[in-house]
Structures are given as structure tokens and as C-alpha cells.
């Protein structure tokens, strides 16, 4: 709002406090109210009003100040959605960074659902033992063959999250209560998934899965394999050239063997980092083409499914709001 709008609103508020003279004609008050309504509408729309025009609007026909009734409650601003792009990226990513960004929605979902699970258990007189596993990270839900986030891979020097210990064992009563509460929580969020998973399935099958064998991608795979050979990546000579998904999987595959063959206490992180950095460099030309194809496809997909996307946002907001009212927020 500019200074003119601010001053104009201040003037209107000041006039609203002007006392009504004794015996004043009520019809004049109603006429003044209508004039004030028009004035407020003009201020809200930031209309261009001349000084002379403002003076006329703020006075009666004879130039005397027109008394105005007290202002009503302000019109509430449009409500912003609870989630931004991270909700769309959770279900419909077109690039590796978008796939990673979707984790922000997933983390919010985990926090709220975990809070609800614990409240449900507490109502049943059950408490879960401490969980030694670290908090999840984007790497824990990474898809490094179809949607690799090369920036994350290069920065972290790894493809997936660190191996985690098994969750603590539960007695039969605690396990039954946990399962019942998880089922209840899942039902609370089912309306979101009913829309999101349907969109996701269509997006993945009709768009993402057709790109790895696109001729523009295939022509880059020999150079990708040669890059792996030049950097001494284990098994590079066996990298398939039939699709980017297969080629990426062949490149990354030796990492699993390296970790599985490690001796107790052996630190495999340095060796994994070498392969991760090589992959981030070698895969860049291929991923650039893939993401270009997928980004264009996503633009078309979002336009074609605008109604479902709007419904997904609305239902997500309503579901989280309802859950917080019922269970509280974490």
C-alpha cells in the first residue's frame, strides 16, 4: 500500500469518529454511509483519486463534513495454501532437485502423522520405546536411476541414506496398539493420497518412464559409459546403453557390493564418495536432457490436470487442518 492509500484510510477512520450532531437527519447518515462504502472500495482498489475528488467524497453537498458510521471488520486476506511447490514435487517431480524438494512435504506429513500416532497410543496407555534410528533425510527416499539429484549426490558424496539399525522389538500388546493407531492415522490422510497417487501414477507411466529410451538420451549413453571407464568406476565396461535408467543402475550397482563386502568397522564412505562424484559428473549431460524433456512434459500435464491439482491442494489443506484440530500439532 502506498502513502496515499495509508493517508486516505487514516482520514476515513478519523471521520468515523466524528460525533453526530443532535437532531441530525438519519437519512443523511445513511447517505454518508453509502459515500463511505464507496470511499473504502476506492481505497482498497488503490484507485487514482485527485485531491479535489477526495475533498468532495469526504464532505456533504454544502462542504460540511459528512458523519460516517464506525468501520466494520476488515475483509480477511486470501488464505495462502499450507504447502507450496513441495506438495506438487512430492507427487509429480520432473527433476532430481524437485524430487528432493518433495521431501519437505513428506517430512511435514511424517511429523504430523507421528504426533497423531503417539497421541493415539497414549490414549491406549501405550508408549513406544525410544527409536535409535536417525531422522530420515532426502537421501532415504532418493530415486537415483529415474530421478537423480546430481547436486545432492555430489554434495553429500553418497547415493542413499546411511544404513539404520532395526527398530526396537515390541511386545504383542504394544504391536497391536501401534498397528491400530497407524491404521487410524493412515485413514486420516487417505483423502490426500487418493488424489495424489492417482495423479502420480498417470504422470509416471505416461511421461517419466518414456524418457529413458528417448533417442536424444540414448545418443549420450556411450559418452556416459566412457566417462565411467576414464574415471575407473568398477564394472563400467558393463554399463548398458539401452536406457538411462538401466545405465544409471549399472553405474551405481557396484556401491551395494562394496558396502556388503566391507569388513566390520571398515569405512566405505571414501570409496562411495569417489563413485558418487564420478556419477554426478558423468551423468550431467544425460540428466540435463532428461530433465528438459520432463519439465516440458510436466508443464503440459499440470495444465491438463489443473482441476485435480487444485483439488489436491484444497484437500491437503483441509486434511491437515482437521488433523490438527482433532489431535493437535507436533
DSSP 310-327: HHHHHHHHHHHHHHHHHH
Considering the domain boundaries, does residue 69 fall inside one?
Answer: no
Considering the domain boundaries, does residue 49 fall inside one?
Answer: yes
Question: Do residues 127 and 34 share a domain?
Answer: no
Judge whether residue 20 has pLDDT over 80: no
Contact 185, 113 (CB under 8 A): yes
Which of 156 and 132 is assigned the larger pLDDT? Answer: 156
Considering its fold, how many domains does the chain have in total? Answer: 2
Considering the domain boundaries, does residue 300 fall inside one?
Answer: yes
Which of 57, 77, 94 terminates a domain? The answer is 57
| Predicted local distance difference test score (pLDDT) of residue 79 | 61
Q: How far apart are CA 41 and CA 22, in angstroms?
A: 29
Judge whether residue 270 has pLDDT over 90: yes
Write down the mean pLDDT value for the chain. 80
Average pLDDT rounded to a whole number, residues 275-303: 96
Judge whether residue 220 has pLDDT over 70: yes
Q: How far apart are CA 278 and CA 95, in angstroms?
A: 19
Q: How far apart are CA 35 and CA 17, in angstroms?
A: 16
Considering the domain boundaries, does residue 64 fall inside one?
Answer: no
Q: How far apart are CA 301 and CA 311, in angstroms?
A: 15
**Domain residue limits at 155:** 86-327
- Which pLDDT band holds residue 160 (cuts at 50, 70, 90)? confident
Question: Do residues 18 and 148 share a domain?
Answer: no
Question: Do residues 216 and 128 share a domain?
Answer: yes
Judge whether residue 207 has pLDDT over 50: yes
Contact 207, 298 (CB under 8 A): yes
Average pLDDT rounded to a whole number, residues 142-167: 88
Question: Do residues 42 and 145 share a domain?
Answer: no
5 burial type by CB count under 10 A (0-12 exposed, 13-18 middle, 19+ buried): middle
Contact 174, 294 (CB under 8 A): no
Give buried/exposed letters for 139-168 (b at 16+ CB in 10 A, else e).
bebbebbbbbbbebbbebebbbeeeeeeee
| Predicted local distance difference test score (pLDDT) of residue 132 | 78
| Predicted local distance difference test score (pLDDT) of residue 163 | 62
Q: Other C-beta atoms within 10 Å of 135: how many?
A: 8
Least confident of 13-27, 285-299, 302-316: 13-27
Going by C-alpha positions, the residue among 161, 163, 164 that lies closest to residue 142 is 161
CA angle 297, 299, 304 (to 5 degrees): 95
Which of 137 and 289 is assigned the larger pLDDT? Answer: 289
Considering the domain boundaries, does residue 70 fall inside one?
Answer: no
Considering the domain boundaries, does residue 80 fall inside one?
Answer: no
Average pLDDT rounded to a whole number, residues 305-326: 96
Q: What DSSP letter does each residue of 244-273 carry, written as one string? A: HHHHHHHHHHHHHHHHHTPPTT---HHHHH
Contact 24, 67 (CB under 8 A): yes
Considering the domain boundaries, does residue 75 fall inside one?
Answer: no
Amino acid at each position: 500500500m502506498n502513502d496515499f492509500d495509508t493517508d486516505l484510510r487514516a482520514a476515513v477512520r478519523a471521520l468515523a469518529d466524528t460525533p453526530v450532531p443532535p437532531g441530525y437527519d438519519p437519512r443523511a447518515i445513511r447517505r454518508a454511509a453509502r459515500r463511505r462504502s464507496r470511499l473504502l472500495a476506492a481505497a482498497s482498489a488503490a484507485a487514482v483519486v485527485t485531491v479535489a475528488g477526495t475533498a468532495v467524497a469526504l464532505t456533504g453537498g454544502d462542504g460540511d463534513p459528512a458523519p460516517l458510521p464506525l468501520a466494520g471488520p476488515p475483509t480477511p486476506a486470501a488464505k495462502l495454501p499450507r504447502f507450496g511447490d513441495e506438495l506438487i514435487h512430492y507427487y509429480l517431480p520432473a527433476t532430481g532437485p524437485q524430487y528432493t524438494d518433495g521431501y519437505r512435504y513428506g517430512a511435514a506429513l511424517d511429523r504430523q502423522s507421528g504426533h497423531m500416532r503417539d497421541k493415539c497410543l497414549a490414549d491406549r496407555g501405550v508408549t513406544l520405546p525410544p527409536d535409535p534410528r536417525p531422522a530420515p533425510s532426502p537421501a532415504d527416499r532418493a530415486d537415483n536411476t529415474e530421478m537423480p539429484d546430481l547436486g545432492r549426490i555430489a554434495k553429500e558424496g553418497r547415493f542413499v541414506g546411511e544404513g539404520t539399525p532395526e527398530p526396537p522389538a515390541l511386545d504383542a500388546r504394544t504391536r497391536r496398539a501401534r498397528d491400530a493407531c497407524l491404521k487410524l492415522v493412515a485413514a486420516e490422510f487417505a483423502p490426500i493420497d487418493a488424489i495424489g497417487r492417482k495423479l502420480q501414477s498417470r504422470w509416471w507411466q505416461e511421461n517419466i518412464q518414456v524418457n529413458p529410451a528417448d533417442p536424444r538420451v540414448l545418443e549420450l549413453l556411450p559418452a556416459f559409459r566412457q566417462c565411467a571407464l576414464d574415471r575407473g568406476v568398477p564394472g563400467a565396461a558393463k554399463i548398458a546403453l539401452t536406457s538411462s535408467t538401466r545405465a544409471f543402475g549399472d553405474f551405481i550397482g557396484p556401491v551395494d557390493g562394496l558396502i556388503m563386502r566391507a569388513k566390520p568397522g571398515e569405512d566405505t564412505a571414501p570409496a562411495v564418495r569417489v563413485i558418487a562424484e564420478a556419477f554426478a559428473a558423468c551423468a550431467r549431460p544425460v540428466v540435463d536432457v532428461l530433465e528438459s524433456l520432463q519439465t516440458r512434459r510436466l508443464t503440459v500435464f499440470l495444465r491438463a490436470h489443473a482441476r485435480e491439482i487444485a483439488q489436491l491442494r484444497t484437500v491437503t489443506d483441509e486434511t491437515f487442518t482437521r488433523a490438527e484440530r482433532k489431535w493437535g500439532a507436533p
